[in-house]
Chain A
């Protein structure tokens, strides 16, 4: 079971992000789904192929698909969106590296992954309307605040307080409906 789980995890998390190059919005969404899939597949198969290294592998896969998104964003012709995305990605990446060396949980709260939500928002609009641009700093600020606020909450719960999201969703939401 460990080998099957390992193949499924590496196959999914390695290949799905490549879709971002062709379909930035849908590929980004599927990469998020693949991120959740690895925890679920380990739970369903009762396998733990990565054991003590899961969090490191998860962070590497996260950084891999976020880097692909950052590269796609770097090619946007919308200057405001492009440089905001690059700065948000660099800020998060610096936080992840710092966290790996220090294991200071507050780091990930201070460097929240707003980039991912920002990328999806802009990539979605650019997919729906290739002529769409952020255009003004006021609109940019509104978008960053709109998509950033829930991410800060998420970082606080998942990384600072280290709550087990999938276990909470399974036990308190999915199984709640089965009772």
Chain B
């Protein structure tokens, strides 16, 4: 299946990136924001279990 090219963004920060890099960048940011607190939580649980 042919991939649709990304639509133009009006976001001033993301516009500076190449079109193909915009979605990977926001996905990485969103996952870092989701997983860093999760990993800190895991570290607290493990530290408490010791």
Contacts and interface: CB of A to CB of B under 8 A. Distances in A.
Interface of A: 23, 25-26, 29, 32, 117, 120-121, 124-125, 127-132, 146-147, 149-151, 153-154, 156-158, 161, 163, 165, 168-169, 172-173
Given A150-B39, A168-B43, 7 more contacts: A23-B11, A117-B30, A125-B23, A146-B31, A150-B38, A154-B41, A156-B41
A157 B44 contact: yes
B26 to A, nearest CB: 3
B27 A168 contact: no
Interface of B: 4, 6-11, 13-14, 22-23, 25-27, 29-31, 33-35, 37-45, 47-48
B48 A131 contact: no
Nearest to B25: A128
A151 to B, nearest CB: 7
Main SS at interface, chain B: helix
14 contacts: A121-B34, A124-B30, A125-B27, A128-B22, A129-B22, A132-B6, A150-B41, A153-B38, A153-B41, A154-B38, A154-B40, A157-B45, A165-B37, A169-B40
Given A125-B26, A149-B38, A117 B44 contact: no
B30 A121 contact: yes
Contacts of A128: 6, 9, 11, 14, 22-23, 25-26
Contact of A150 (B25, B27, B35): B35
B49 to A, nearest CB: 11
Contacts of A26: 11, 13
Interface-centre pick from A32, A127, A158, A173 (highest chain B CB count, 10 A): A127
Nearest to A120: B30
**Closest A-B pairs by Cβ, 6 of them:** A150-B38, A124-B26, A157-B41, A128-B22, A131-B7, A129-B6
B41 to A, nearest CB: 4
Contacts of B39: 150
